[in-house]
Structure 1
């Protein structure tokens, strides 16, 4: 074998190796590109409820969103109403998925959208610091003219051990 043939053989083997590795990479990058909720929004958040509902607890993980009303009793969360856990999706499905905008708007809010059997809820969410304390700010829009702003605190041992009833 001449020197030219050896170089061509090595170049061919290198090209095949690159092609084989390149064919395997799209599967890996597709899994790596799966959308998740940003780390800044993930936590179990809590807000005092109004009336007999108790408290409102929002739990956000990498792929789920759960919103319930209930109370902490003896260190455990007791649900007073229905509990729905929604999975992160690209399209809204009634009582099954929620969507989250890929990028924050100019004010730093991401749009979280849910759909139940009656209504579509559009919420603007972001993590904020108020008086040096971390909170989740959620703005819910009910119609073109009305909106409600809620502040959620991270769930701490102090909140869990508080008897609320």
Structure 2
């Protein structure tokens, strides 16, 4: 592996960690879990990650997939790790995630994961929003009591897939 590839891999993993990891925050309880992900959140979403590629999240009725990579010749190339979690009533490390049954007063649902090579339990607030008349997935991750990171994910389109990102 060349030095550049190692740097890109490290940058990609760092970006994925920043985008998906938060401090342990009280999350959804077992009885607050939903049976299926609402239609409004289901899609394949991505956010540009610079030279190292893009962060891609795929949400279906029962799964949450998180990867980092890029599109090349219309195909997604994984650059790092890929996690696919199933919707469950309780969060199980590397196996399941939970989603709150109802949205809070601001319209966010709580999505909770626990990935072994990350910093443990991650609690994210997610909702579909319109910004400048374009649909996006807004994801808020709390890193500490006083800080938070907000990420905007765009829906994957034919134009993006056919763009050579690398």
Normalised TM-score (structure 1): 0.77
Q: 1:44 corresponds to which residue?
A: 44
SS of structure 2 residue aligned to 1:82: strand
- Closer/same/farther in 2, CA of residues 37 and 96 from structure 1, 3 Å limit: same
CA deviation profile, 1:79-112 (whole Å, cap 9, x unmatched): 0011010000000100100000000000000000
Q: CA RMSD in A?
A: 1.1
* Rg larger in structure: 1
Return the offset for 1:142: 1.6
Return the offset for 1:50: 3.9
Q: 1:71 corresponds to which residue?
A: 70
Return the offset for 1:141: 1.1
Q: 2:21 corresponds to which residue?
A: none
Q: 1:83 corresponds to which residue?
A: 82
Return the offset for 1:116: 1.4
Alignment of 1:124-135 (within 5 A): 124-135=125-136
Q: 1:145 corresponds to which residue?
A: 146
Q: 1:100 corresponds to which residue?
A: 99
Normalised TM-score (structure 2): 0.76
Q: How many angstroms apart in 1 are the aligned matches of 2:101 and 2:62?
A: 14
Q: How many angstroms apart in 2 are the aligned matches of 1:123 and 1:50?
A: 23
Aligned length: 131
Listed as ranges, the gaps of 5+ residues in structure 2 are: 1-33
Q: 1:160 corresponds to which residue?
A: 161
Return the offset for 1:146: 1.9
Listed as ranges, the gaps of 5+ residues in structure 1 are: 1-33
Higher helix share: 1
